[in-house]
Structures are given as C-alpha cells and as structure tokens.
A and B are shown apart, each in its own frame.
Chain A
C-alpha cells in the first residue's frame, strides 16, 4: 500500500496542553480528577517497563461512561492527543503519554451485567481481571485469560493489548473471549462492534479492535465470554537437569493430543529468585528447569492424562514429577510462577521482561542462544514462560543507574529478538508493541504491511490523536505529531534507561 503514503502526511502539531484545557476537563470530572502538576504526573511517567519515563502533559480520571465521552469529545474539539490507560501494568511502554493527555480508566469498575445462561458478562474497561472472575464465581464461572498481572490489570487494558496468560494455551487469548465492544472513537463517535451472541455478518470488528493498543479509541463497555469452572484440575511439577530436556518434554506432551490448561517453564535462575522470596513455592533450587503443567476438565479420563504426562516427563529425563496433593499446594505452585517477576526484585533494582514467540520445536535452540547472549554480555538472563505456546519471557535483572549495564541489556534485547525472528518467531506474544518494540517491527513486516496497518488506523483515528507514536513505526505512518518521545528516540537510536 505504498501508494497510500501520500495521504498519511503529518497533521499539524497539537496545541500546547495548558491550564485552560485542565479547567475544561475539570468542569467535566471535577477538580480532583485532573492532575496538572509535574510532581503529581510523575506517578504516570512509566508503566511496568522501567526503561522509559515520559511524563504526560495532563492526566484526567473520568468516573462514568458519560464523563469519558465528554472528556474525549473535549479533547477532539481541542485537537489534543491522548493515551487511554488502565492499571499501567503493560510491559511495552504502551500506556506512556509523552506530553499528551493521559485518560485513566481505572475508575470505571462496574460489572454491568452477568448472563450466566449465555456465559457472558458486560463490564466497564476498568474492571480488574481477577475481580471479574471473583464476581462471576458464584455462578461457577470465570474469565479465562489470566495474565500474570491479573490481580491488577484491567479488562480494558487486556483488550487493548490482546493479553494472554498461562491458561491461554488451552483457552485462547483475550481476542477469543471478547464478543462485543462499545467503542468510543477518538473523534467522540460511539460505535458498536460485534454482537453478544457472537454471530456477525460483516467484518470482524471486535477482532480488529482487540490488540489495537489504544490506537483505535477507548472501549466503553466490553462483553466477554465466560468459561465454566472445570470439574477437576490437576497440577504437576516436573523438574529437569537441562533446559533442553524440559523443552523436549513440552513438544512431546503437546503432540499427544492432550491440551494442557497450562504448560509453563521456569529456569534455575528464576526458581532460585522465587525460592528466596516470600513467594517460595517449593521448586527444587538445583534443577536446571521446572515445568508447571496443569490439566483440567471433566473428572473422567483426567487421571489418564496425568499419567501420560508423567510418563512423557520421565522419559524426557525429568528428575522428579509430582502432582499437587490439594488446592493449597496447587495455589502455592502457581503463586511462585505468577509472582516470579516480582521475586526478581531481590536480584537487582530493575527488571526488563522480553516477550517473543518461537515455534515450539525451536525452543531448545533459541533457549541456548539466549543463554549464550547473556554469557557474552555478562548479564543474568532468567527465563519463565509459556512453553506450550513457545512464548518466551527472557528477563534480565539489572541496575538502570549503571549506564554500561543498561547498554548491555539493550544489546541483549536486540540479540534475543533477532534470534527469535530468525527462528521463525515473532516479536511479541502478549505484551504488545507499545514504544519498546517499535524498533523491531521492520524485522517482521514489510513497508507495505506496515502501511496497511497505518491505513487501518486512519479509519478509526484519522488525526492520529489516540495513543500517538505507538505500534507502527513512524517512518511507516509519518506519525510525527504528538509523539515527541518516539521522535527523539528515533534520532538517538535504541533507548538506554
């Protein structure tokens, strides 16, 4: 779509965000819900990725749907760029509002309706993922996508990022669980996407909106598919003396036809960090890697699946294989996995989490490359990831105040990305592009493909005011306005924290 680029000329720069805009927004949401002072805005200068600090020009926190609509319409009238933000748990810098207006949606926490008969719920965007599952638990239901940040992250944020999680191996990622969205476009127009019954006869507008990282507008309400709680669950911990053996076990398990609810790998560095923390789960600290495997479903036949998995782990070289005896042990095993990133805090002051996907059969090869990259650059690379999906999360604990170490971290991140792409993989499995991955988009997409994405964005946001500077690199969209950070970053090369 190269020929379309002429139409993507940069728009005129937005007017400065000033006190009068704050006053107009305060008239909608109240004085206390508009933050203007630099000291107040500092809280919102980062999301969960510590490599970037970009302060918003202003932050506004509407409390109702009507207020969100009024705020966005005021921003449209004022031609001011904005960035929707949920809990800010994103790991790609996607919620940073560099000089733009940050629209915080975490006050919109109503579960609007639960329909247990049709297994759906309609929620506001600020509903916390785990809170939704708690809200529908009395019906024997839950919301299946379970990012590790589920205790804090919001459904709106999950929709924006097409979030995944351990149980997405069997149950699918966010996009497989969203039926309908009422979306507020950046120009203030409200549109209905999808249908609660799941049957539509036009384009898959929900599929298109999910994962658009806030560049297409704001989800005002979201109708999700709920999942019945399984009759039975078995959680297995298998530990191995080599990463390679653990990776082979992963491929063999998936090949049997059993689709585990989750199939996670935790390497030794991560195990040791977890076991030294308050999240200690009883993982063997001398193992090279452990697999956390869960199967669920009907009671009948489940023990057979467990036996098959145990047998595969043993024949792949597992040292020990154990099945959680009860719910308490199961919860403890999972807590270790879900809090692994937090536990890394014991090692160093900062942590970067990479997110890439490789074909399952390439896991041993890529993990070996990742290990060598870490050794060559004298970095402590730890791995904890969704092995069943081939979704790697190499993470590096480091000191962001040490420029030399920070530079080596960035070099390692590039090398890891290149290794994953060379193996036939992709640059993000669940964390999104945001700002951090912009530099890698050219590795996997041609100029024509990126231009097609720009054209799609223009359908929803022709002025490119919603989350400007994210997802598609600027040289593809010429999206320079409202994105000072990316412009500066492009000029000075890869970011160094």
Chain B
C-alpha cells in the first residue's frame, strides 16, 4: 500500500500513530528514486512524502531555506538560482531526489569537498517520531545551540528515528566564477594519493575534485581515467587556480562541460552494488587499491574518489556467483566499507553484516520503540 501524503505533518503523525496501533511497519519514501539503498526494509506499507512538497520560508538575504521534506532538489535549485544562490548538496542520483531523503540518508556528492555533508548544511528539522509525536530540533538561523542536537541525530538516521517532514538548510551565494576542468594522466595511471597530497599543499580549496577510473571516465566523455576539478571564487582567483591545476594533477588541463557533474552523480543508477571504501585521507591510495581489488573482475566497474575526503566509491552490476567473490574480498580489506546498495545476501555477509551498536539501539528504542519506521535499515540484519 502506498500513500502519498499531501496534507500536513499532522497527517503524517496520524499515519504513524495508526501504524503504531495496528502494529504495522512503514517504509518511508521520498521521490522513490533510491528505495533499494541502505539495506532492505521489512515492511509491507509505504509512507511516501512525495506529495508533501513546497518551500515554506525563503528570504534570500538570510541564505536559509525551509522546505517540506518531499520538495525536490530541483525545485529548490529553481527557486534560489534567480537570487544567485544554491544549496550546495549534490547527492548521487539526480536533482529529482528530495530534500528529506538527502538529509535522512546524509548523502553527499562531490561538492562535499568544499561545503561538507548534509550535517554541515542542515540547520533544523521537523520530524514525526516512531511514537507519533511531532518534534522540532534546531532552528531556522545559521547558528543555534538550543537543546540537544536532534538535527544531527536525525541527519543520516535513514528514517529510523523519525519521518522528516520539513527541513531548514543553509544556502550559499554562487561564486562569481565556476569552472570545470579535467586532467588526464599523460603517461602512467593517476596517483590518487598524489592528488590528495597536492590538494593539501594547495592554498585553494576546490568546490569539488574527483578522480574517476577508466570505465567511468569513458562514460562521462572524458576519454578514460581523469581528475575532474570544479573551481570557484572570484574571477582572479579562478584564473590563478586554472594556471596551477596542471601542476597539481600532473597533466594538461582542459575545460569540460559542467554537465559532467550531473552525469557523474547519475552514473550508477543501474548498479546493483555500490560501496564506499574509506580510510584516513592520507591513505586514500590504499582505499583506491581496495576498491580496485573489489572491482577487478568487472570490466565496467565505475570507481571514483574524493581524494580530499579519503573516500572511494565503486559501483558495479554484480550478480550471481560474483557476489561470493565480493564477500570474500570485502572480508579481507582494512578499509572501512559503507554500502549504499547491495544484493540481500551480501548485506548479511561480513563485514556489511554487523551487530547493532547498543547505544544506537537504545536511541532507536527511545524514538521508535516498536520499530515501526524503516525496520531493517542501519545495523540490523537484513531482511531476506
């Protein structure tokens, strides 16, 4: 059963309380573009917020915006662009994803290099807890320490503590210049660790810097392996950054169409397995090597790295027996592995299958004692 809620937060609270009474379990959905992410949910009912849309407060001079959870990133982009502003969140997928889902999953894309992740940009939330109570955390201003930080607790909680119904986020003014450059290695393969070390020495912070493997680079029209930079700032600053890029990445830089970022975010829509492999940033080369080992059997595996953050993302269309190979390779890696999407039996294999953290379980009990919301996600054994 799917219900698109279009009424109010109260209607959502009614729905949760109703589920509580009936002992039903709810799968929370935004636009429904990423429902197979984050571990299978054991629920027969869906609570869709796709129709719970609309920007409720936006004063451009405050650089903050409040919107209902089902509002898409595209709607926000269209509303704030005329004022020279943007919400600097670019989760993998597309701008058809919703604000609520972006915050609930704490999904972050290339722009996290400069602007951080949803936890850095979410200022306040309204949510309906698993007890059916309507709760507000945080506020609508850029700085706030009133009360315990429910906003950060809910950010990245994958809907397991509450159904986010509204969020206030921080916006940024768009930089005067915004340029995308690609550098392809002239001889050998790209040294991801070298890019990171160079970024660390660089006096600039790029808006984004991603290293893409051969397969992904070809798909993005870059010809093969490449480092893609997004540079922002005033025109003088960007001109200087352009001059320095070739030195940074070890090859000649060419300007490419900024749509490459949209393509990069959408590239793994058809992947059956998406993993984030991470280490401390100084060990990003090792994370890249681990990702390469994982994807070695698959010629079309797409791998990208955010060198400044030490995170490597790999996506494949792994099926059948190859999953066993994945599971055994995963178990031998020293990197931290976070799965975004995986077949059910891989969720239940080490290291993706983990015992729930007791403290986190207690938090879940406090907000959703009957485990009504998204049962199965986060630390619990996947439902087959």
Contact = CB atoms under 8 A, between A and B. Distances in A.
Interface of A: 1-4, 115, 117-120, 161-162, 164, 168, 172-173, 175-176, 191, 195-199, 201-205, 207-208, 210-212, 215, 228, 230-231, 251, 254-259, 297-305, 308, 357-361, 386, 389-391, 424-433, 437, 441, 444-446, 448-453, 455-460, 471-472
Contact of B150 (A173, A452, A458): A452
Nearest to A440: B146
A191 B358 CA distance: 10
A207 B147 contact: no
Contacts of B359: 191, 205, 459-460
Given A207-B152, A299-B203, A448-B133, A433 B280 contact: no
Contacts of A426: 139-141, 144, 146
B281 A197 contact: yes
A3 B131 contact: yes
8 contacts: A4-B131, A176-B116, A197-B280, A207-B153, A304-B237, A390-B141, A445-B146, A455-B367
Given A257-B84, A257-B172, A448-B134, A360 B61 contact: yes
B240 A298 contact: yes
A255 B61 contact: yes
B156 interface: yes
A4 B365 CA distance: 11
Contact of B135 (A164, A425, A452, A457): A452
A118 B281 contact: yes
Contact of A424 (B137, B140, B238, B280): B140
Q: Which 4 pairs across A and B sit closest by C-beta, in order of nearness?
A: A301-B237, A207-B152, A300-B240, A257-B173
Contacts of A199: 276, 278, 309-311, 336, 338
A197 B309 CA distance: 8
Contacts of B142: 357, 360, 389-390
Interface of B: 59-64, 84, 106, 116, 119-120, 129, 131, 133-137, 139-150, 152-153, 155-157, 161, 172-176, 200, 203-205, 233-241, 276, 278-282, 309-311, 336, 338, 357, 359-360, 362-363, 365-367, 378-379
B336 A197 contact: yes
B191 to A, nearest CB: 16
Contact of B282 (A118, A297, A424, A446): A118
Nearest to B13: A448
Contacts of A460: 359
B141 A361 contact: no
Contact of A256 (B143, B173, B235): B173
Contacts of A215: 148
A472 B278 contact: no
A216 to B, nearest CB: 8
A201 B338 contact: yes
Contacts of A3: 131, 133
A455 B366 contact: yes
Given A208-B152, A212-B148, A445-B136, A458 B378 contact: no
A297 B203 contact: yes
B378 A202 contact: yes
Nearest to A425: B141
A300 B280 contact: no
A53 to B, nearest CB: 24
Contacts of A455: 366-367
A1 B129 contact: yes
Given A254-B63, A360-B63, A456-B366, A428 B144 contact: yes
Given A208-B153, A257-B84, A391 B148 contact: no
A200 B302 CA distance: 22
Contacts of A358: 141
Contact of A456 (B64, B140, B282, B363): B363
Contacts of B200: 117, 119, 228
A197 B196 CA distance: 14
A119 B144 CA distance: 26
Contacts of B161: 203
A252 B131 CA distance: 44
A359 B168 CA distance: 13
Given A204-B156, A210-B149, A456-B153, A386 B143 contact: yes
Contacts of A449: 135-137, 147, 150
Contacts of B365: 459
B61 A445 contact: no
A446 B157 contact: no
A237 to B, nearest CB: 22
Contacts of A389: 141-143
A309 B69 CA distance: 36
A4 B278 CA distance: 39
B87 to A, nearest CB: 14
Contact of B133 (A2, A172, A204): A2
A108 to B, nearest CB: 23
A195 to B, nearest CB: 7
Contacts of B106: 204
B360 A205 contact: yes
A438 to B, nearest CB: 11
Given A205-B359, A446-B136, A452-B133, A162 B233 contact: no
B281 A203 contact: no
Contact of B146 (A4, A210, A308, A441): A441
Given A1-B131, A1-B135, A428-B145, A202 B234 contact: no
Contact of A453 (B139, B147, B174, B309): B147
Nearest to B276: A199
Contacts of A304: 234-237
A457 B175 CA distance: 41
A28 to B, nearest CB: 26
A300 B363 contact: no
Contact of A305 (B147, B156, B234, B282): B234
A430 B145 contact: yes
